[in-house]
Every structure is written in structure tokens, then in C-alpha cells.
Amino acid sequence: MSKCYICEYEISPDNLYKEHIILNSIGGRLKSSSLICNECAPHFDAIDAALGKQLNTIGLVLDIKRDRYKNPYTKAKIVNTGEEVSLISGGKIAPIKPTIDVRYDEDNIYLSVSTRDENQMKEVLKGLKRKHSWIDVQEMMSNAIKRQEFIDSSIKYQLTFGGDEAFRAICKMATSFYIYKGGERNNISHLIPYIRDGQLNNTVWHYHPENITNYNLENIEVLHSLFVVGNPSEKILYAYIELFSTLKFLVLLSDAYTGKEYQEFYSFDVIGQKIRDKVIEISLTRDEVLKVIQLRENNLQQIQNSLRCLFKTINNKQIYESFSKEVENVIENFFKDIPQDTVFTKEMTSELTIECTDKIAALLHDKGFFNQE
């Protein structure tokens, strides 16, 4: 029977809790029921929520999958117009408020409703039905048209990283992974008051070494990675953590480590939803680890460079998905009215190819791939 590494009480079916080592809110899949009991777990809700809130926008534009719940929408602004909009899954935008247009003439009532998504549409129609009993919510939902268009403007939204609560959540990731992979509690027990109550400083800091690049723009890959190293000869136990291949942290787990040689690694592609066997080459001396943690140097330039790479990946993903979706629609519409037993001729192949090519060309033009005179 395992013990909760926070309170050291045995974990039983009565106090079982499934701990996401990497937060579910940022697409983490690594989890265990042998780490923290359900009585200790609520103590960490605030720090996990703080980190999840900071990283929600990245998860939103990447349209990552969670075990439960969806990424909440966030506010953004269209730079050219200053209009506030909702940033939704996949980096798309939608109006913050639904638009409702009801027009009358002598014999008819005309109703036009535009909403962010189907759920909002259903709620709006239910509200309108209380005033207009003739509205058939189900029929109108069935006849609703999904529209997508490109805007000729950049979108501005706020990203914030760091702070005490977020750093404590990062530290909890490191300690949970260490214990999950067979580490000894006595080597990290001094960190528990910090994780739980914030009673310790200089434990986590940004760390962006130039020799570590964890992007794969060609394959559109974004990783969450955990790497823990124990070096008894230098009496150092530390963790290196990457979230979305972008935000990178060093965690000092112990500067008095006397355990065995220890090295464990985990990497998960949040887009492809696959565990990766790619290992980060990192080997730090005691002095190097302590320098990062104690000096807490400004890493703003390195963070900005990592974000640029991330948004190139996001842009590539959005372009690929736009092309795939539009081509899929062309093919679906092409075959919609063709009987199933029709022989597919060379002429039909040519016609379908031209339609797909025209659609891709239009998308390339809309996204600015062609210079205009």
C-alpha cells in the first residue's frame, strides 16, 4: 500500500485521489493514484489553478485535449479596430456577445442570431422562445450555418508567467514526478511546506539554455517534458521542466542530496497526444544549478525567443488545419449529390482536383502568401 507523500498517511480506496503530475488544464496525461490523498489534494487547488490560468491561452490556441472540461475562452482585441472579441479553440475569434436581429413586416417575423458557438446559440434561442413561442429551437439549431472568415489584422491578448503560486505548482510537478519514478520522500520533504504554504524561497526559476531547442516545426510538435537528475557526488538533485516546449524552469529539489544516481525523463506531445522518447541532453554541475536558482537572472529575451518559436508552430498548425478542413468540405460537397453507384471518371477527377486547388489558392491568398501589387 502506497503512502501520500505529503502527509504520509496510507492511501486507501477511501482517500484515493488521481493526481495529474502535469496539470489536466494544460493537457497533461501523466497521472497517478499513489501520490497524494484526497484530503491533501485540495491544499494545492489554488496553485494549480494559478498556473493553469496563466497557460490557458496557449492551450486554447493549440486546441489541446483535456481529460475533462474544455479550455475556457479568453478575451482578445483586434488591433486594427480595437474591437474586443473572444479567443476560442484553435486560435479562432468570435464575438463576445451574441447579436440578435428581429425584424417585422406585415405578415412575417425575421430572426437572425449570430453566436460564438452552438451552446451559446442554444441558450440564446431558449431565451428568445420565452418571448416568441413560435420559435422551434431544434429546427433553428439544425438550420444554423457555421461561418468562417479571415480578418486582415493581428490579434492582441495578454500572457503572464511566473509568480509565487505558479512556481509552487511547478515545484509540485517536479516532486510528484520524482516520487512517481521511485524517488525517496526524505530527499524532497523539506519542499512540502513551500509547495503547500509558500514557506521557502529560491527553489524555482526560469531556465532557457541556448543548447536546448525542443521544437519540431516541420512535424508541428509541442511537448511537455520533465527531467529529474540526482548526482550524489555533487550532492545535488534538480529538475528541468518544459511546458509547451516554451516555458522552461529549473527546480532545485535538494542541495544536500546523498541518494543514488538518479535520472528520469518524460515527454508528451500535446498536439499528437503521444508520449515521445526524445531525451533532453542536460547535465548541470552543482555550481551551475545554484547559480541559476540563487541569482535569478532576467530571462526575458530567452522567453521571447521561445514564444516566437511557439507561435510559428501555432501558425503552421492553424494553416494545416484550415487547408485540411476546406479540402474536406470541397470533397464532401462534390460527392453530396452523386449517386453511390456512379463510376468515377477521369473528368470528375480533374474537376475535383481543380476545385480543391482553387480553394487552397484562395486560402493562401487570404493568409497573405501572395504579394499584392
Whole-angstrom Cα distance, residue 244 to residue 225? 8
Whole-angstrom Cα distance, residue 77 to residue 275? 35
Beta strands 223-231; 262-269: pairing state: antiparallel
pLDDT band at 373 (very low <50, low <70, confident <90, very high): very low
Task: Find out whether 215 and 313 touch, Cβ atoms under 8 Å.
Answer: yes
The whole-number pLDDT of residue 152 equals 65
Most confident of 52-61, 104-113, 349-358: 52-61
The whole-number pLDDT of residue 211 equals 59
Residues listed for the chain = 373
Assess whether pLDDT exceeds 60 at residue 80: yes
Percent of the chain at pLDDT > 70 equals 85
Assess whether pLDDT exceeds 90 at residue 176: yes
- pLDDT tens across 333-368, in order? 777 777 777 777 777 777 777 777 776 666 655 555
Q: Classify 219 as helix, strand or coil.
A: coil
More confident of the two residues 278 and 251: 251
Mean pLDDT, the chain, rounded, equals 82
Name the least confident of 9-13, 60-64, 156-160, 176-180: 156-160
The whole-number pLDDT of residue 297 equals 85
Most confident of 173-182, 190-199, 274-283: 173-182
* Residues β-bridged to residue 268: 224, 275
- pLDDT tens across 232-246, in order? 999 999 999 999 988
The whole-number pLDDT of residue 40 equals 96
Amino acid at position 343, single letter: V
The whole-number pLDDT of residue 82 equals 78
Name the least confident of 33-37, 188-192, 234-238, 335-339: 335-339
Mean pLDDT, residues 80-106: 77
The whole-number pLDDT of residue 370 equals 46
Q: Could you give the C-alpha distances from 160 to 116, 348, 349, in angstroms and in order? A: 25, 52, 50
Task: Find out whether 261 and 232 touch, Cβ atoms under 8 Å.
Answer: yes
Instruction: Give the residue among 289, 291, 259, 78 at the shortest CA–CA distance from 186.
Output: 259
Mean pLDDT, residues 213-231: 77
More confident of the two residues 92 and 53: 53
The whole-number pLDDT of residue 179 equals 97
- pLDDT tens across 118-147, in order? 888 888 888 888 887 878 888 888 877 776
Q: Where are the domains of the chain?
A: 80-153, 159-297, 313-366
Assess whether pLDDT exceeds 50 at residue 194: yes
The whole-number pLDDT of residue 76 equals 80
Mean pLDDT, residues 214-222: 62
The whole-number pLDDT of residue 372 equals 45
Q: Classify 348 as helix, strand or coil.
A: helix
The whole-number pLDDT of residue 313 equals 73
The whole-number pLDDT of residue 147 equals 67
The whole-number pLDDT of residue 185 equals 96
The whole-number pLDDT of residue 321 equals 61
CA 347 to chain centre: 44
